[in-house]
Amino acid sequence: MKAKILTRSAVAAAVAVALSAGYVAGHNNVPAPQVISPAAAALMPAEAAAKTGIPDFSGLVETYGPAVVNISAKHVVKQTSNRRGQSQLPMDPDDPFYQFFKRFGGMPGFGGGDGGPGADRPSEGLGSGFIVSSDGYILTNAHVVDNANVVTVKLTDKREYRAKVIGADKQSDVAVLKIDAKDLPVVKIGDPNGSKVGQWVVAIGSPYGFDNTVTSGIISAKSRALPNENYTPFIQTDVPVNPGNSGGPLFNLQGEVIGINSMIYSQTGGFQGLSFAIPINEAIKVKDALIKTGHVDRGRLGVTVQGMNQTLANSFGMKSPQGALVSSVEPGGPAAKGGLQPGDVITALNGVPVTDSTSLPSQVAGLSPGTSAKVTVWRDKSAKDLSVTIGALKDAKTASANTGGADSASAQDARLGVAVRPLTPEERQNDSLSRGLLVQQSNGAAANAGIQPGDVILAVNGQPVTSVQQLKSMVQHAGDSIALLIQRDDAQIFVPVDLG
């Protein structure tokens, strides 16, 4: 079975052929078409739905469709280039996220020469956008105009303008364009926080280059976290979105833009029922920053966090698995200076609950560097407030627990199921570890939890481990579950182990 992939929805320009599907006549008992009065048709969608029982998007499209634009971005790409900005993609096509960041900025066989691997070739990418001010500011996705040499904007009345890229923020995938025009049609900005799962939404864009195509669906979920998209709480919909819809608006029934269509979850590269939009309130913050300073400042704590589950919650004496578990703290970083420790569970930031590890990055990123924040943590089975001075965001690693098993082997500790030994001086020096026990074999409870040979056990339930005998004692006196802090490659992660 082919792996499902997350992919951006910009499309490369190629040969567009419109296919018309004819309706086969001759059906019996075809119901007469419903007649909607001109008065009802003129209503906004919400009012029309209330009057007729059927959503009518015609008023929305007529009013705000002219503010949606088609974007053409010309650039030069490598024949073998698969990248998000400058990042290299996974090489395994069966990886579920092989094309997560692969943009449709070019399509093999179009616009290129006969150069070998790595040869430069011209490419023209197509996307969508929408006008947010009458003097020519336009919002779209950053990946639509990434590395573009020439960006052209076409309006619904066929006018074309050369656009200037005011700024592009890859973290949020938001870009701001400017065209030299006045008295342009604009969209109305809404509040995505007021939208609800199950409500109707409408997308307008240029899938596969078909300008101003209108599709509709419902909101499937809100605040959806996606891999490697730590700073955007996406709106998930079932609105048909395809390559070329990238950067187009997502409307609610009141005709307000609540999101920017950015990504699809697909097995084929086309729409399969899952599409994701950037909340417009997040995008407007980015827009304002790009226009004002040309870049976006984001806050940083300097911690690596992972999700909680009930086993981990039991290990730390929590009633429910809420919050973000700190698996490592950057030495000398904001969190370290504020007193945060591995094993702390961050439950609130400035009084706002941290529901899980996926919500924390966006909450921190929204804080201004240099400001003081109150971080509430769960430590030693009680809540504790810490004051942290927020730093400026830089690239950070994200840890994830591997749930795969390990080969069965004999073990020193029968209850945990591991054979361990102290680290040698050379291993401590090479891995910059001051303590820990190297896992040589793993089976039983440890193997079931995903502990692997080569992992280094650093702590049990937040308490540092310095010797084999200490580990045995900790496991012997533990309850039905423990949380092991391990070092795996370059990341530290907590792994819950069920000892029952």
CA–CA gap between residue 493 and residue 473 (Å, rounded) = 22
**Separation CA 341–CA 142 (nearest Å):** 36
CB proximity list for 467: less than 8 A, separation 6 or greater: 422, 437
Q: Which of 146, 169, 173, 344 is catalytic?
A: 173
Which sign, positive or negative, has the C-alpha torsion 365, 368, 371, 374? negative
> Known catalytic residue: 27?
no
Q: What are phi and psi of 334, to 5 degrees?
A: -55, -45
Please, is 90 exposed, middle or buried when counting C-beta atoms within 10 Å of its C-beta (0-12, 13-18, 19+)? middle
Retrieve residue 59's tokens: 């008023």
The structure tokens listed for 120 are: 């430069």
Strand segments (E) across 268-398: 275-279, 299-300, 303-306, 324-329, 345-349, 352-353, 372-379, 382-389, 391-392
How far is 223 from 284, CA to CA, in rounded Å?
Answer: 17
Q: What share of the chain is helix, strand, coil (3-state, %, to 5)?
A: 15, 35, 45
User: What is the chain's length?
Assistant: 500
Catalytic residue among 81, 143, 216, 262: 143
Residues pairing with 495 in the sheet: 484
Active site residue 87: no
**Amino acid in the structure at residue 92:** D
- Angle in degrees, CA 222, 223, 225, rounded to 5: 125
Is position 173 annotated as part of the catalytic site?
Answer: yes
Residue tagged active-site, from 195, 220, 246, 481:
246
Give the active site residues.
143, 173, 246
